[in-house]
Chains A and B, each alone.
Chain A
Amino acid sequence: MAAPLVLVLVVAVTVRAALFRSSLAEFISERVEVVSPLSSWKRVVEGLSLLDLGVSPYSGAVFHETPLIIYLFHFLIDYAELVFMITDALTAIALYFAIQDFNKVVFKKQKLLLELDQYAPDVAELIRTPMEMRYIPLKVALFYLLNPYTILSCVAKSTCAINNTLIAFFILTTIKGSAFLSAIFLALATYQSLYPLTLFVPGLLYLLQTRHINPNSAAAVHTCENEEQSLLDLFLGVCHDVCGKPSGNHLPLLLPSQLLGFHPRSLWLYINVFFYTIPLAIKLKEHPIFFMFIQIAVIAIFKSYPTVGDVALYMAFFPVWNHLYRFLRNIFVLTCIIIVCSLLFPVLWHLWIYAGSANSNFFYAITLTFNVGQILLISDYFYAFLRREYYLTHGLYLTAKDGTEAMLVLK
């Protein structure tokens, strides 16, 4: 399977290189949907030049990146385009191997449940076969690399791509079963933006399950949790020593409250990301990778400065849930909504800023519609997943008590 992956990588790199050299690169790097104040390349350059002048990059509230990013680009500023192309390639490769291993786990689990007779007798068409799952890792890599959102983020040199790489490696190491490495990558991702902290829970659940420990066992949970928590603390401590700045300076800086001129009510919106973790953990404790997918989507929707790069990460997972297609109910309307909103972003921006006729309400209405579309999409996938699980255990052709065909309704 290596050859098709290499081909996909070559095509992706060519597309990105072509766009980097074209006149569109500058236009894209200023688009609000692609770069945010937290991930803009211009601000990274600003921070680096401030550092060169001997001024603290954090004075002036322009630079919001982490010190590690400064150190990374201090040496690689001349090869920035190459760095971003490599990060995209690394993300795709990480996702490829992660999903490859995940498919094996899924198949093993399915076999186990079949042998234990956990499935109803008439669900033959819902059982997944290795044949249909063969091309999924390649499709995941394809979906990530050739997604227009990813290409735009790469051409704009948004640091969101680096965050995506770290999360992808976190997923890879979690699926491979290495708690130590996954903790390191999670710590790095959380260090850059606070939200990946919520991925701690699904990661923990997955690691526990692969060690065949009952997740309800409190003691086992605690040891694993402690391991990860201590690694997280250790890492943050190491970071703050290395960077020589009191950690109070940059971690609170990364909190949205400080960035936006803190308003008490707006805090609830950002905490939204963390609200969903516990209910999802309760409902999806048997399926931690799906939980991780939903959590990444929730982060992309509810984070304070969402960009299309975050959307691209969870969109890459759609081929993994291909088998849910028949249970998705609104996929047509939702795809149309998302495409229309993506196209209307630049049109309404032009009307607002250049034609002077629309105003910010139009533009923000479209961002709201885009978010509503994403929320409906995620809830559709969630519903489809649950529905499939229900059918697997209760049989595909449901009959009511009097023998007529029954319908499954979500209450």
Chain B
Amino acid sequence: MGLLSDPVRRRALARLVLRLNAPLCVLSYVAGIAWFLALVFPPLTQRTYMSENAMGSTMVEEQFAGGDRARAFARDFAAHRKKSGALPVAWLERTMRSVGLEVYTQSFSRKLPFPDETHERYMVSGTNVYGILRAPRAASTESLVLTVPCGSDSTNSQAVGLLLALAAHFRGQIYWAKDIVFLVTEHDLLGTEAWLEAYHDVNVTGMQSSPLQGRAGAIQAAVALELSSDVVTSLDVAVEGLNGQLPNLDLLNLFQTFCQKGGLLCTLQGKGLQTLLLMVLRQASGRPHGSHGLFLRYRVEALTLRGINSFRQYKYDLVAVGKALEGMFRKLNHLLERLHQSFFLYLLPGLSRFVSIGLYMPAVGFLLLVLGLKALELWMQLHEAGMGLEEPGGAPGPSVPLPPSQAMGLALYVLPVLGQHVATQHFPVAEAEAVVLTLLAIYAAGLALPHNTHRVVSTQAPDRGWMALKLVALIYLALQLGCIALTNFSLGFLLATTMVPTAALAKPHGPRTLYAALLVLTSPAATLLGSLFLWRELQEAPLSLAEGWQLFLAALAQGVLEHHTYGALLFPLLSLGLYPCWLLFWNVLFWK
């Protein structure tokens, strides 16, 4: 009657699972890692191709020649900015109006949960300025956005100059079917978030912003531009957005087409495996790597283009960049519907090669299979021993560590930001440091949990109690990693690589100190530390231990801040989901 009900076949399957469990687990884990590493090789990757017909078959002739004008605007902007110290709103308004756009401003303000040490801000308030170029013969139902984020550390004045010159050029053309919004934001990402929230009339992150006076229709696509000098040697493109969301691959293909056409060098950091690993690390961090990252949440495909000025021979001036942008916008103008033909979930081992989800998902599937096999083995061992949980509640022993672990996770999530003022009163530290130190303190305090729960566990709890706890913990971990991998593959894969082997190995017998050391080395915080070192290593700027530690502390603070300001999910996932799960394994290890 089938595998599930035929007793003979069931017994054979059970014997197979019990006897070959360890080899199968090792094989599965190795297969998962090997599969991922093999994704770099050409036979498994595909060349990128344009899927959207509306953007593929049309020829455009770029006519942008406003290089001098762009440079003049940039110089003016830089001068005014230096004079006023903040975004020169009045000058921008005047200039945009003179170019022929409808100009509006929006002011916003936000009090961050604690002072941001990296950007040195706490009470942030600023103004966004945007100009709308109305399409001459269309009904303003759709729009495209060209945005230049201006922060205090990167003035981005050349990008502003190019934006204004492009606006002047676009104003003279008659072929625009969609409105184009030229957006200059202050305080880079915070300003962009304020504008997007006001545009879409939502309030996701608690930003206070004035409502927008002028709108331009549903945004189809957006390009963010960051230039640091008058000449560029290459254009770097950033695709990873908030929580690992990616734009449609067609937008990247579009950019690549125009770079090739104009002879412009476009790059994705690194080569081969390096690129793949860098993309995985960037996507796993869940940070928006550029203003485009915030657009993706509203289902607007967006990219960030960064001009790099390195020591290469051939340099391109602003005209080349402007022509590439003009070509992209003209092609985007041809879109009949939102970009949806190409892939939304992919990995990039190189700019012109990609790996689709169908090909990279088995890697994480193999890793989670290890957890499934281990859980199955534990269940059968428990069943054989006859201890089978009478009701799902089971004996009190195995389920005792569950509430304290979850409570520790909740404390890790809630206490650092809530208790920062109390901490600053009692200790001589700044608020940001207080938050980070509280995080680390609660994290380390969780390690002492087994000593306390032992007093509650009754002495009757049989030796097999830890097996039931491990079973629940394995299923919990597999569920979390599975759900994470579906929405953000890189994060799921990274965490699975580190947490799966030690989770499968954890048991009270055997070399306890070795297992304890392994478990601590693969805890979520250690994974974060390790990936920071790996990231810098891949960028060919390796860190010393002290620098790494400082970067780690800064990353912790940024993680908490980004959760509160943009709604990034890495911090809650790690503190409320993975840390309690890891504590359960820690309890299994120290089961008496």
Contacts and interface: CB of A to CB of B under 8 A. Distances in A.
Interface of A: 139, 319, 322, 325-326, 329-330, 332-333, 335-336, 339-340, 343-344, 347-348, 350-351, 354-357, 376, 383, 407, 409-411
B475 A322 contact: no
A77 to B, nearest CB: 28
Given A329-B5, A355-B487, A356-B344, A319 B391 contact: yes
B479 A325 contact: no
B391 A356 contact: no
Contacts of B379: 332
A59 B456 CA distance: 61
Given A348-B486, A351-B486, A339 B479 contact: yes
Contacts of A332: 376, 379
Contacts of A409: 1, 6-7
Contacts of A339: 475, 479
A249 B391 CA distance: 47
B40 to A, nearest CB: 23
A332 B379 CA distance: 8
Nearest to B380: A332
Contacts of A335: 392
Given A322-B391, A343-B479, A354 B4 contact: no
Interface string B364-378: 000000000001100
Contacts of B487: 347, 350-351, 355
Interface of B: 1, 4-8, 10, 245, 299, 340, 344-345, 375-376, 379, 388, 390-392, 475, 479, 482-483, 486-487
Contacts of A347: 483, 486-487
A324 to B, nearest CB: 12
Given A329-B5, A344-B486, A383-B5, 19 more contacts: A322-B390, A325-B390, A329-B10, A330-B4, A335-B392, A336-B375, A340-B479, A347-B483, A347-B486, A347-B487, A348-B486, A354-B299, A355-B487, A356-B340, A356-B344, A407-B7, A407-B8, A410-B1, A411-B1
Contacts of A356: 299, 340, 344
A329 B391 contact: no
B509 to A, nearest CB: 24
A330 B9 CA distance: 13
Nearest to B344: A357
Contact of A325 (B5, B245, B388): B388
Nearest to B471: A332
Contacts of B376: 332
A410 B479 contact: no
Contacts of A357: 344-345
Most buried by A among B299, B344, B390, B486: B486
28 contacts: A139-B391, A319-B391, A322-B391, A325-B388, A325-B391, A326-B388, A329-B5, A332-B376, A332-B379, A339-B475, A340-B479, A340-B482, A343-B483, A344-B483, A348-B486, A350-B487, A355-B245, A355-B487, A356-B299, A356-B344, A357-B344, A357-B345, A383-B5, A407-B7, A409-B6, A409-B7, A410-B5, A411-B1
